[in-house]
Chains A and B, each alone.
Chain A
Amino acid sequence: DQQVKQNSPSLSVQEGRISILNCDYTNSMFDYFLWYKKYPAEGPTFLISISSIKDKNEDGRFTVFLNKSAKHLSLHIVPSQPGDSAVYFCAARGNGNKLVFGAGTILRVKS
Chain B
Amino acid sequence: DTGVSQDPRHKITKRGQNVTFRCDPISEHNRLYWYRQTLGQGPEFLTYFQNEAQLEKSRLLSDRFSAERPKGSFSTLEIQRTEQGDSAMYLCASSLVRGVFSTDTQYFGPGTRLTVL
Contact = CB atoms under 8 A, between A and B. Distances in A.
Contact of B104 (A36, A42, A45, A93): A93
Contacts of A34: 105-106
A31 to B, nearest CB: 10
Contacts of B113: 41
A104 B108 CA distance: 16
Contacts of B33: 98-99
Nearest to B45: A98
A30 interface: no
A99 B91 CA distance: 13
A83 interface: no
A57 to B, nearest CB: 11
Contacts of A103: 40-42
B112 to A, nearest CB: 10
B103 A97 contact: no
B107 interface: yes
Interface in A28-60: 32, 34, 36, 41-46, 49, 51
B110 to A, nearest CB: 5
Interface residues of B, number: 28
A89 B42 contact: yes
Interface string A57-101: 000000000000000000000000000000001010100111111
A43 B110 CA distance: 4
A109 B43 CA distance: 24
Contacts of B6: 43
A42 B110 contact: yes
Contacts of B31: 97
B48 A97 contact: yes
B43 A101 contact: yes
Interface of B: 4, 6, 31, 33, 35, 40-45, 48, 55-56, 58, 91, 93, 97, 103-111, 113
